Amino acid sequence: MKPNGNLKLIALDGRSARLVGDLSSCIIDRDGITSKIEEITYIKDDDEFSICRGSIVRPKPKLPYKVNDIFARYGDGKLICFDLVTAVRTSASTFVLPFLGGNKARFLWNQQLVNVFTSTDTHENCIALLYRFSGTKKFAKFEEELCKHKDFVHRYDPDPFQVFFIFSIPEECEVSYEHYIHGRYSQIDGLWKLKILDFHGYDMDGHTGRILFQSPELKKTLELALDVDLDDSSELHSIPNAKAEKFNPNIYTIQSKIRI
């Protein structure tokens, strides 16, 4: 992205950056069928640039983000920013990552974690973590700790800017993991349900807690939204999307030579 005094790119987390500033000169190009934003173009005086799906943007010179989705955010009816996103968080980020123990802070959830997967081209039924690489001593220590985890299998760099860690399923979680894969959230072991909530700092009355413990209130909400009658045994969240939960290099890999 060209330097511009009216606009600024801000890194939000491992998956997304935000374009803020004077957006009144931005033109939005949407897909005619899906209405997804395909491209935003900034034109003001002699200054012009565009960001489209597939672009690489850099809030900092050594901090590239691959843009697979663009979301316009509004407040009080006014466009306030664009979120430039590599991918939405997988369900595995919520329900599977806690099987490795610890909490969000330990796994740098709000910093370098990009996404969590349950399979790759080389590993089926695993817990795979993609991180944005950092050359700091703190991140080097973090990498060392991950590699010492009892279920660690493999580490590799999919590109110069990211690092991938693959873990086997902890033995004590194998049954619960299998329930998750098939969308049987309510059948996850009771202790692991509590550990999932504790990992994220959620309580039982929150959305994730209501999914795990089949809340009657959530069931009623879904019935109204979907205009259906759900059986009392029905799960209250969709089955994990196997395609989204398998690491796809075409989505996540950053090509270092491509720039805005």
Quickly list DSSP for 24-48: TTEEEEE-TTT--EEEEEEEETTEE
Task: Answer yes or no: is 123 within a domain.
Answer: yes
Compute the distance between CA of residue 121 and CA of residue 246 in angstroms, rounded to an integer. Answer: 8
Q: Are residues 97 and 159 in the same domain?
A: yes
Predicted confidence at residue 260, as pLDDT, reads 38
What total number of domains does the chain contain? 3
Report residue 3's pLDDT band, with 50, 70 and 90 as the boundaries.
very low
115 with 131, same domain: the answer is yes
Give the domain extent around 36: 7-85
Q: H or E segment at 71?
A: strand 69-75
pLDDT in tens, 39-89: 999 988 777 889 999 999 999 988 999 999 999 999 998 999 999 999 999
Average of per-residue pLDDT values in the chain: 93
Q: What is the per-residue pLDDT across 112-149, written as a single tens digit (0 to 9) for each?
A: 999 999 999 999 999 999 999 999 999 999 999 999 99
Residue 11 and residue 81 in one domain: yes
Same domain? 167 vs 181: no
Q: What is the pTM of this model?
A: 0.92
Identify the pLDDT of residue 5.
63
| CA-to-CA separations, 223 to 3, 81, 226, 236, in angstroms, rounded | 50, 34, 5, 10
Same domain for 182 and 167: no
